[in-house]
Structure 1
């Protein structure tokens, strides 16, 4: 027989203890698995700091509950904190799985190539905060709890990297700093200004405020699309069209994303905006190629003039923003992809053209894939392996 049942404070205190121990146990597990590997140490330390901060907050809630005898406030605070802790635990599990996978070379080195690619993107955007990579059963995505980009399981390919650049674009919405060094976030300002304009336009519409969150997400997608195109040229649109777009649904607009029709036309508009800014015809030619692939894949009608004008305005604003605050991130269109394509299929060691970057390698890989469509099944794995190796060798300063 139980003679003395626990009260509310007792239960809350014990729950705090269990959650606290779980967080610290995971931190210790990560430290053991990472085992000093320099590739993963920054994230292990970051998680350890997060876990200890959450443990301290849990202790504070237990102390508060003891003083208040387990009132509603204590339980509300605990529940909110547990929601935050759950996100950290989920990302920690994803990170741990990725570390084990990579340490045992089950990804065949693709994780190192993805890290090198993200380091290249960060350097071009002058974002020093390190992005972490993990594995995902789905497509690439980003979570801001640990700033973790989930890569496709079982291994990221060179064909996936443009989508990884898009996910990095979401990171830039939060992290890209003003060129003057102040605390303003230019891409975030773009989303805020356009959201405010939409709210003003729909003033009096009872549904407007309910739609605001979805509109904010769509604007962030637009900013991330523009960045991925700015830094990777046509390869981003190629990757979307070949790997992600369903031509039969390209005109549909999900709640949180613009339609694929609008997104692909934004990519072309960004390339044309870069051409106007730089005067280099290669960007307009790249836009022509993107639009040609779109027409080849879909039977969608042309974009309405009003929509096209709206997309072009967004492209102009975002290119101006990126040119000012992330100038070094611009993809340097030129003649390199043709010579790099030869390197992707050559036997033995190769000598890349001077100034080759990971962005050039990705574009060359996509140009090869589109130009050698019938040979992709046979030669694709070899080209991918060579491309990932070249990305690792060209990602340095």
Structure 2
């Protein structure tokens, strides 16, 4: 086999791989049909329980009839039973005795039916459903990327066909390798991440974190639908950019504020004022430097102190202080976060500002002997401009400083320890309230982190089942 023939085989195989990726929608749609079937089965259980109730009534009526010795039907039924016994030659069991067993059998059937219904309900509640907007965005994104790759494969094949049989096809090989290692590998990784993420959610191996993240996304973006999926990578910068990926191993409630950071990385591209802000940038610095800082400002604006806690206490490295015009350091990013929080509560005398002071103090203590960030005043000025642009964005709903106090007073005690069967407080709250209160409770009682985590998930599921007051939905400011 010549090198040209080998390359032709590789191109054909690559086309098959791309075609397989195009099947991702049908795979997702098949999941939707399974969920629809589950819902139909659940709906049918109501009729089954009605049938069981009617069977009990009939059984009770027959028992009363057979208990009346003077009732002529009783004698007729006994005659019929006797003829059946003689014909089939089996041991007689009186009708009263048989009827006595029926309620127990009906009860057993009902218990089995309840178990089946509960299993179906759990499966339906855990599985994530792709609505029409999700499917449309997925189809558009994948179709565009697959088409680009297919056109490049066709061009490579055309270039290859123009070469003489013994010609050196090195340049075509190089283009093929570049295509595979670049666009193809990224597309295939997205494909696997998407299907794998759906599977992890369907089996609840993410600990319900993505379900909570869905609620968080709905609160932040008022007119856009996003879907949270666990993933080995955490990025929105791909064709599947309507997905918000929770990168492994950050599948806990404590890293949920990073969802807002991922949104911030892509949000400015859809909002002209924010796009202008990022494009204006900071003199002498690359766009990536500014984009990262803007995403931090976005996340802080929409998540409040919870993002400051997650970023500085779980992810940022205080020794990452080297200034680089291309990439912002963790120390520089922290400056933006705390300056943005100050912009959100300029008075500085509220409980909101008090907890911000606590978080910043802990970060500063960890930064002992660390080089100060590049020109803090330039960073603060950029943050003030970012805050103004975010405030003017009508599509965003920010975390209000006053909500910190309200949420802490309502939920902190319930989240901070063992439940002991106590009812959940019947007060309105949002998912952002829940995550911020969790962090507030953890700051006060770090040894109770495990209990707080469990209580957050339990309270969220309690509300999902319809047992809590409606969320506090305020108009955007």
- Asked whether the two chains share a fold, i.e. TM above 0.5, the reply is yes
**Per-residue CA distance 1:203-233 (angstroms, 9 max, x = gap):** xxxxxxxxx6xx3212111101111111122
The answer on 1:272 being equivalent to 2:272 is no
User: Residue 323 of structure 1 is aligned with which of 386, 391, 399?
Assistant: 391
Q: Flag the 1:358–1:370 CA change in 2: closer, same or farther, 3 A.
A: same
Match of 2:361 in 1: 292
Between the aligned partners of 1:343 and 1:275, the Cα distance in structure 2 is: 27
Match of 2:328 in 1: 258
**Per-residue CA distance 1:277-331 (angstroms, 9 max, x = gap):** x887455434422322223433246957x82312220121011011111475221
Bigger Cα displacement from structure 2, 383-392 vs 69-78: 69-78
Match of 1:361 in 2: 434
Alignment map for 1:91-110 (pairs within 5 Å): 91-110=190-209
Measured after TM superposition, the shift of residue 159 of structure 1 is: 0.9
Match of 2:291 in 1: 220
Q: Flag the 1:61–1:166 CA change in 2: closer, same or farther, 3 A.
A: closer
Measured after TM superposition, the shift of residue 13 of structure 1 is: 5.7
Alignment map for 1:105-254 (pairs within 5 Å): 105-123=204-222, 126=223, 128=224, 130-137=225-232, 140-147=234-241, 148-153=243-248, 156-175=251-270, 177=271, 184=272, 186-195=273-282, 197-198=283-284, 215-247=286-318, 249-253=319-323
Bigger Cα displacement from structure 2, 365-374 vs 37-46: 37-46
Structure 1 unaligned segments of length 5 or more: list them: 178-183, 199-211
Between the aligned partners of 1:375 and 1:66, the Cα distance in structure 2 is: 62
Q: Flag the 1:292–1:6 CA change in 2: closer, same or farther, 3 A.
A: closer
Q: Flag the 1:370–1:328 CA change in 2: closer, same or farther, 3 A.
A: same
User: Residue 339 of structure 1 is aligned with which of 391, 401, 410?
Assistant: 410
Between the aligned partners of 2:300 and 2:214, the Cα distance in structure 1 is: 20
Q: Flag the 1:52–1:79 CA change in 2: closer, same or farther, 3 A.
A: farther
Q: Flag the 1:164–1:11 CA change in 2: closer, same or farther, 3 A.
A: same
Match of 1:180 in 2: none
Measured after TM superposition, the shift of residue 371 of structure 1 is: 0.2
Measured after TM superposition, the shift of residue 173 of structure 1 is: 2.3
SS in 2 for 1:271: helix
Q: Which structure is higher in RCO with an 8 Å CA cutoff and minimum separation 6?
A: 1
Residue-pair matches, total: 361
**Per-residue CA distance 1:24-77 (angstroms, 9 max, x = gap):** 344443443454656334545544444444554555456656766357998788
Q: Is the 8 A contact 1:226 1:315 kept in 2?
A: yes
User: Residue 385 of structure 1 is aligned with which of 450, 457, 460?
Assistant: 457
Match of 2:44 in 1: none
Q: Is the 8 A contact 1:120 1:396 kept in 2?
A: no
Match of 2:382 in 1: 314
Q: Flag the 1:30–1:57 CA change in 2: closer, same or farther, 3 A.
A: same
Q: Flag the 1:8–1:95 CA change in 2: closer, same or farther, 3 A.
A: closer
Between the aligned partners of 1:57 and 1:299, the Cα distance in structure 2 is: 51
**Per-residue CA distance 1:243-295 (angstroms, 9 max, x = gap):** 11334x1534567542322222222211222223x887455434422322223
Between the aligned partners of 1:241 and 1:67, the Cα distance in structure 2 is: 53
Q: Flag the 1:391–1:358 CA change in 2: closer, same or farther, 3 A.
A: farther
Larger radius of gyration: 2
Q: Flag the 1:9–1:350 CA change in 2: closer, same or farther, 3 A.
A: closer
Measured after TM superposition, the shift of residue 95 of structure 1 is: 1.3
Measured after TM superposition, the shift of residue 170 of structure 1 is: 1.0
Between the aligned partners of 1:254 and 1:229, the Cα distance in structure 2 is: 23
Structure 2 unaligned segments of length 5 or more: list them: 36-127, 164-168
Q: Is the 8 A contact 2:25 2:135 kept in 1?
A: yes
